[in-house]
Chain A
C-alpha cells in the first residue's frame, strides 16, 4: 500500500463523501440503512425498482450538516429549476464538500476540479419533454437545451461551488461512477488539481430505456414473478437480473499534503485503480479482463490479493454478470482469502451511471464505521468458495477494499481504497 506504487505522483485521499439514493439522503442515514440491510427496492405500479422517492431538494440541502447559509441559498437559487438528477447530485456534493471542511478552507477554485461520471442520464427528462412537445411544441422552454445535456451537472456544480479548475463528464455506462473516481484520482495525482469533486450521476430511466433493458434480458422482469417484491438477489442461484435504482453519490478527492495542511483527517486513500476494455461492443462481461483490472488495481496499490479485506462487487444480480464476476473473484482472491464479498445493489438497486460512486461511498462508510452490510436475500449462493456477506451486518475491520464497476460495451474497472491513513 505504499503511496509510490501508483507511480510518481501525489497520494490521493478521500476527505468528504455524500450520497442521495433510495436508502438514504446523507451519509449517516445511508450508513444506518446499510447496517440494517434495509432495501430501497419496492413494487409499485407494476414495476419493481429502488426509486429516490419523496426527494425534496430544499429539504435535502437543509439537512446537510454544517452547510453555511450562503452556500445553501446559492444552491437553492442555482439548482431550483434543475432536473431531479442534478438536484440529487448537488445535495450529495454539498455533503461531501461540507464534510471535507471546504467551505472554511482557503482553497482557490482554480485548484479544484469536478468530474461527473455518466452518459445519457437525461433519457427520462427527454421522454417527459417529448410528451409535453407533442401536446404543445411552444411549451418547451429554452432552459431544456441546457438541462438535456449530461454536462449540466458540471455547470451547475461548478457554479454553486465556485469551481474553476478542470471539469467534464466521463461516460462509461454502468462503470461511469468508477471511471469518475479514476479520472478524479488521476487529476489530483498528476498535480492538475489539488482537489477534485467526483460525482456518479443518477440515471432516471424512461419507459423506453426500461423496455429495452427488459427486452435485452438484463433487467429482472416483475411480470415474470408477480409474487416476488425483492426480485434482486445478487450471487443467488435464483437471481433474475438487475433491478434499477435511482441514486447519486459524491466524493471529494484531495492531494494528501493538501488535506494534511488543512488538518483534515482523510476517510480513506484511493490506493490504486485500473480500467480496461474487452474489445467487445455487447453486454457480456469478460472474466479475463475482470481478473486483469482487479489484479492491476491491486498491484498499483502495492498490495497483494490476500491483503484484501473487502470486495464491493459490481454484483447486479444479472444471470451472466454475477457468474462471471464470481469466477473472476475466485481467481483473483485464491482459495484462502478471508475477504468479504458484498453486493450493495441488493439494497440500492442498480444505480447505473451512479452505481460506482454510490458503492465507493458505501465502501468508505463500511471502512470508517467498521462493518460489512448484509446481502439480505442471498439464500443459495452460486458458489461456496467466496465469503459472501450474509443476512446480518457483521463487524469488520476493513483496511483494504476493492470496488468493481463494469459497463455494457466491454468497460471494466476496479478501484482500491486503503483505510487508516491519517
Chain B
C-alpha cells in the first residue's frame, strides 16, 4: 500500500475523531498531539487506520512514532 493512501486514511480518521480540525493542518510533519489529540484520540486514529488497512500492529510499536510521517511509515512496513 502506498504511503499516500495510508496518509489519506489517517487524515480521514483524524477528521472523524476531531471534526473541527482544519484539513490543511494535517500534514506529514504534524504530530497527532499538535493537532489536538489526547492519548485516547491518538489510539483511536491508529485503531481505525489499522482496521481500514486490515492489519494489526502491536500498540507498543507506536510509541516511537512521533509525527504523522513516521506513523505512516510504520503502518506501511506492516503491509508488505
Contacts and interface: CB of A to CB of B under 8 A. Distances in A.
B58 to A, nearest CB: 11
Contacts of B41: 81
B47 A140 contact: yes
A142 B48 CA distance: 11
Contacts of A146: 40
A141 B43 contact: yes
Interface in B38-76: 40-41, 43-44, 47-48, 50-51, 54-56
A336 interface: no
User: Which interface residue of A76, A77, A142, A146 has the most chain B CB atoms within 10 A?
Assistant: A142
Interface residues of A, number: 12
A70 interface: no
B17 interface: yes
Interface residues of B, number: 15
Contacts of B18: 77, 80
Contacts of A138: 47, 50-51, 55-56
Contacts of B48: 139, 141
Given A142-B44, A146-B40, A80 B19 contact: yes
B43 to A, nearest CB: 4
Instruction: Give the interface SS of chain B, mostly helix, strand, loop or mixed.
Output: helix
Contact of A143 (B19, B20, B44, B55): B44
Nearest to B19: A80
A136 interface: yes
A142 B38 CA distance: 12
A206 B40 CA distance: 26
Nearest to A139: B51
A350 B27 CA distance: 49
Interface in A133-165: 136, 138-143, 146
Residue among B17, B41, B51 with the highest chain A CB neighbour number at 10 A: B51
Nearest to B53: A138
B44 A77 contact: no
A81 B51 contact: no
A81 B17 contact: yes
Contacts of B44: 81, 141-143
Contact of B47 (A77, A81, A139): A139
A81 B55 CA distance: 24
Contacts of A142: 40, 43-44, 47
B20 to A, nearest CB: 7
Nearest to B54: A136
A140 B18 CA distance: 18
A83 to B, nearest CB: 14
Nearest to A73: B20
A80 B17 CA distance: 8
30 contacts: A76-B20, A77-B18, A77-B20, A80-B19, A81-B17, A81-B41, A81-B44, A136-B51, A136-B54, A138-B47, A138-B50, A138-B51, A138-B55, A138-B56, A139-B47, A139-B48, A139-B51, A140-B47, A141-B43, A141-B44, A141-B47, A141-B48, A142-B40, A142-B43, A142-B44, A142-B47, A143-B40, A143-B43, A143-B44, A146-B40
Instruction: Report, nearest first, the 9 A-B pairs whose CB atoms are least far apart.
Output: A139-B51, A142-B43, A141-B47, A141-B44, A138-B56, A143-B40, A143-B44, A138-B50, A136-B51
Given A76-B20, A81-B17, A141-B48, 14 more contacts: A80-B18, A80-B19, A138-B50, A138-B55, A138-B56, A139-B47, A139-B48, A139-B51, A141-B43, A141-B44, A142-B44, A143-B43, A143-B44, A146-B40
